[in-house]
Structure 1
Amino acid sequence: MSLRGFYLLPHPPIAIPEVGKGEEEKISATGGSFHVIGEEIAKKAPDTIILVTPHGVMFQDAIAISYENEIYGDLKNFRVPNVKMKLKINKELTTKIYEIAYSEGIPVIMATNSLLNKYDQSVTLDHGAMVPLYFINKHYSNYKFVHITYAALSDIDLYKFGIAIRRAVEELNENAVLIASGDLSHRLKEEGPYGYNPYGEKFDKEFLDNLAKGDVKTVLSIDKETVCEAGECGRRSTVTLLGALEGKKFNGDLLSYEGTFGVGYGIMKFNVLSEDEPKLGELEELRKSQYERKNKQSDPYVRLARESLTTYLTTRRKLREIPEYVPNEMKNMQRGVFVSLKKHGDLRGCIGTIFPATDNVAKEIIRNAVEAGINDPRFYEVEEEELLDIDFSVDVLTEPEVATREDLNPKEYGVIVRCMGKTGLLLPDLEGVNTVEEQLSIALEKGNIDQEDEYTIQRFQVIRHKES
């Protein structure tokens, strides 16, 4: 036996009548498609349902596979504690998936209650799992369960983990289906949870269109700005599902797509058409070529930042000479500089100087790139192998000027707050910071300044350099 079904399913609690209380009728196509999938799974009668969710207990650096005899959950966080379920975990299959993934060098852990208790957590069914299962259970409930929470790993690791899932199913001769749980963009409307961003619609269309074509390479090549700005939670689940389809030619059948509440809900089933050439090698080559391209950036600011941190991580020595590609403007100008690192769209380190601490911008970048990689107290030290997946940006600050609240605009100006020797700074145009109040609140918190204290405000602008 092998995996007999592959599905991309969203997880809007409002689709459940007990939660929606009539509002679910506004996404009736989603509800109808859920039932279609439930009926199809009932016909397949799998012994096990494997589900990858974004909303279980998540570790930053390892995929978590729940490992207890049973897993329980309810929707009390959505004011309906009576909607609950308890499922028996397929421990044999869970163990086999873990063993294969671990042997392939994929970061993975067995999430037990004894482990999670250390973090005041427990093995629990999250709404990312419960919402799809609520509808499936209306049609079929005679199954064991494998509960997986993805991590912010590289696409290659997630894809290889999908391969491991399929191998485990085949080696144990299991009859199983695989569900990738995930919503698409959360930024389709101003009244949505994260406001409107045009990249939201762009991401959803490209993502679903290419899944429908079975074009794995293009799905994984959607530019990072689009992915980050879309604010989605289903891409990584889907990459794992695509890995489980390695060596298969397939297409996707989109049953429905709705964005009524500002979040994209897409329901798609995948149809295996025939055998196909494996894609993993090609995807790994694509990743390497992207990294090589980053190392040869035309923008000298981000190129220097990457070279500085790379040199330190590979030699444990700081870059001593300014490279020849650095222009005179970087050697002759003094400015405060912030270097930011992002891994898979998530912040991985950011260190900077409000005022210059070295002779010029070039030396400022060399210094702060290393500091961002190894001395940001919010993160553990960056490791050399992570450089493949890290994107660099460099913000060169203008001279700060005294300002009032009325002078601020979080999209255009950064802010510096000061009080009794304490300082808090926030860069401009940051994701999720849309109002002056939000900007000041975060800056005050960073400076450990109470909002009731008397503090001064300065504003500044930045020239932002990003890797293309």
Structure 2
Amino acid sequence: MKFGILKTYVVPHPPIILPEIGRGREKDVNATGTAFKQIAREIAELAPDTIILSSPHAPLYRDAFFMSCSDIDRGDMGNFGFPSIKESLNNDLELADLVLQKAEQNDIPIFADTRENKLDHGSFVPLYFIRKEYKDFEFLRIGLSALSAKTHYLLGQIIAEAAEKLKRRVVFIASGDLSHALKEDGPYGYKPEGPKFDKMVTDILSRTAFDELLTMPKKLINEAAQCGLSSFQIMAGAFDGKDVEAELLSYEGTFGVGYAVCRFVPQKQNSDRQFLELQKTGGKTEDPYIALARHTIQEYISKGIIPDLPKDLPTEMTEKRAATFVSLHRNGNLRGCIGTLEPRQNSLASEIQNNAVSAATKDPRFSPLKVYELEDLEISVDVLLPIEKIKSLEELDPKKYGVIVSSGYRRGVLLPNLEGVDTVEEQVAIAREKAGIAANEKYSLERFEVIRHE
């Protein structure tokens, strides 16, 4: 008899697919409903001991995962006008306890909520179909977090290890919709990133290229207005080190939201699919400028210290002085940017350290960086070349030159080659507004080039 993760499924969670709620409109997503009924029959044939489900609509925390550790999970569809549609499930607390132990050993924060938790609709909709075919199972519900893709994947590994150790026969359900921006009349209107995201994710899932789930473009993820990716990353981690057979059972975008149903079956062991280990050993060595900024931020945020300079830095970083800017992004969004127009420290390396700490803790637009944000922090370091005075806008190019707009003591700076800044007029206007200089005031212009490390 096999133990551990027997099968996993990616599923959506549209309440309208329930006939009581859809009142006929469920027929508009008939392929999704048919796929749900199919996987419910498959699960009944497997007769698992436990069903684990990850849901984007369970309680969501920035710096930890939610896990329901009450004796029973109950829920209904009262929020959608049907409180009479109810479910009640006994939780697998022994499995939950082992997952918690392993998570603590791996520094993965999980909030074990022992209160009686109401089932969210991201969990309820899949369970509605499953429990029509099979009810003799215990349950374990997990939420998502704002932690990194790698951390979600690692949680999946831990879940699989715990299931195998306890000799549990487990089915994992990764609940999550794809893009909510597929149509103008959809919940978020239409964005071209919506169909692009759905095509990319369904392709990745069909090929079981789970490493690609961990490195999808952040801008695409944000613009697609999706809710399932982190759930799929947990599921993928449960298959780490194994070949996987996949089948996309259905995909629909009828209501402007992507609904995919996909089945995954583990096969033989394959060390080439240990994706976190491969990322550790197979990637390029990080640029020393970025590595220094990252190490400095990590030490300062986690320990409150600015570390000594590494002894193996390039001589250009230790023997030269230069002005720098350090920019921080998370999930495609700016998280801090601080810099200097003239060198203030005794070396370029010290300049980077000083500005890295300032970008992480002193940018007035943001709260100081938190420990949980460190893992997926994107860092760029710009080293400024000499500043030049200019007389007209014709001497600017927003892709090549940064700009300094000055009027008296007020000074606004904008770095070159920034996403969304395409014209000289836009560049100057943004820098001017940053300095509080009105359009009708006199101002002077300077330009500079940078060497960008990212």
TM-score by length of 1: 0.69
1:242 to 207, 226, 236: 236
The question of whether the paired residues in 2 share the 8 Å contact of 1:106 and 1:161 is answered with: yes
Superposed displacement of residue 429, structure 1: 8.2
Q: Deviations over 1:211-240 (max 9, x none)?
A: 222222333333333333323221221121
Q: Deviations over 1:144-186 (max 9, x none)?
A: 1101112222333222221221222222222221111111122
Q: Which residue is 1:127 aligned to?
A: 121
Q: Which residue is 2:245 aligned to?
A: 251
The question of whether the paired residues in 1 share the 8 Å contact of 2:218 and 2:332 is answered with: no
CA 1:365–1:27 in 2, change beyond 3 Å: closer, same or farther? farther
- In the alignment, does 2:374 pair up with 1:374? no
Distance 2:180 2:87 in 1: 27
- In the alignment, does 2:286 pair up with 1:286? no
Q: Equivalent residues in 2 for 1:345-356 (5 A)?
A: 345=331, 349-350=335-336
Distance 1:259 1:457 in 2: 47
Q: Which residue is 1:221 aligned to?
A: 215
Unpaired segments of 5 or more residues in structure 2?
Answer: 383-417, 421-436, 441-448
Q: Which residue is 2:66 aligned to?
A: 64
Superposed displacement of residue 356, structure 1: 8.5
Distance 2:209 2:47 in 1: 29
Q: Which residue is 1:276 aligned to?
A: 269
Q: Which residue is 2:45 aligned to?
A: 43
Largest Rg, 1 or 2 = 2
The question of whether the paired residues in 1 share the 8 Å contact of 2:297 and 2:356 is answered with: yes
Q: Which residue is 1:99 aligned to?
A: 101
Amino acid at match of 2:33: G
The question of whether the paired residues in 1 share the 8 Å contact of 2:296 and 2:307 is answered with: no
Superposed displacement of residue 13, structure 1: 1.6
CA 1:171–1:458 in 2, change beyond 3 Å: closer, same or farther? farther
Q: Which residue is 1:439 aligned to?
A: none
Q: Deviations over 1:367-423 (max 9, x none)?
A: 66433422466455347xx5442113699xxxxxxxxxxxxxxxxxxxxxxxxxxxx
Q: Which residue is 1:389 aligned to?
A: 376
Q: Deviations over 1:64-120 (max 9, x none)?
A: 21101111222222233222222111111111222222223322231222xxxxxxx
Distance 2:139 2:277 in 1: 31
Q: Which residue is 1:165 aligned to?
A: 159
Q: Which residue is 2:259 aligned to?
A: 265
The question of whether the paired residues in 1 share the 8 Å contact of 2:150 and 2:214 is answered with: no
Say which SS state the counterpart of residue 200 (structure 1) adopts: helix
Say which SS state the counterpart of residue 95 (structure 2) adopts: helix
Q: Deviations over 1:426-458 (max 9, x none)?
A: xx989xxxxxxxxxxxxxxxxxxxxxxxxx998
Q: Deviations over 1:297-352 (max 9, x none)?
A: xxx9x899768746856851799xxx9989xxx97x99xx894431xx17583366
Amino acid at match of 1:374: T
The question of whether the paired residues in 2 share the 8 Å contact of 1:29 and 1:258 is answered with: yes
Amino acid at match of 1:137: R
Say which SS state the counterpart of residue 389 (structure 1) adopts: coil
The question of whether the paired residues in 1 share the 8 Å contact of 2:326 and 2:379 is answered with: no
Amino acid at match of 1:100: K
Superposed displacement of residue 30, structure 1: 0.9
Distance 1:9 1:72 in 2: 20
Say which SS state the counterpart of residue 138 (structure 1) adopts: helix
Amino acid at match of 1:86: S
Unpaired segments of 5 or more residues in structure 1?
Answer: 114-121, 396-427, 431-455
Distance 2:44 2:197 in 1: 32
CA 1:71–1:38 in 2, change beyond 3 Å: closer, same or farther? same
CA 1:42–1:348 in 2, change beyond 3 Å: closer, same or farther? farther
Amino acid at match of 1:275: K
Superposed displacement of residue 210, structure 1: 2.5
Q: Deviations over 1:266-307 (max 9, x none)?
A: 0001123x31223565533425765x56536xxx9x899768
User: Bigger CA drift: 7-16 or 364-373?
Assistant: 364-373
1:154 to 140, 144, 148: 148
CA 1:86–1:197 in 2, change beyond 3 Å: closer, same or farther? same
Distance 1:55 1:49 in 2: 17
Residue identity (%): 37
Superposed displacement of residue 241, structure 1: 1.3
Say which SS state the counterpart of residue 271 (structure 1) adopts: strand
User: Bigger CA drift: 302-311 or 17-26?
Assistant: 302-311
Q: Equivalent residues in 2 for 1:25-36 (5 A)?
A: 25-36=27-38
Cα RMSD (Å) of the superposition? Answer: 4.8
Say which SS state the counterpart of residue 13 (structure 2) adopts: coil
CA 1:188–1:112 in 2, change beyond 3 Å: closer, same or farther? same
Say which SS state the counterpart of residue 104 (structure 2) adopts: helix
TM-score by length of 2: 0.71
The question of whether the paired residues in 2 share the 8 Å contact of 1:58 and 1:150 is answered with: yes
Distance 1:6 1:224 in 2: 25
User: Bigger CA drift: 208-217 or 276-285?
Assistant: 276-285
The question of whether the paired residues in 1 share the 8 Å contact of 2:91 and 2:138 is answered with: yes
Amino acid at match of 1:284: E
CA 1:93–1:155 in 2, change beyond 3 Å: closer, same or farther? same
- In the alignment, does 2:302 pair up with 1:316? no
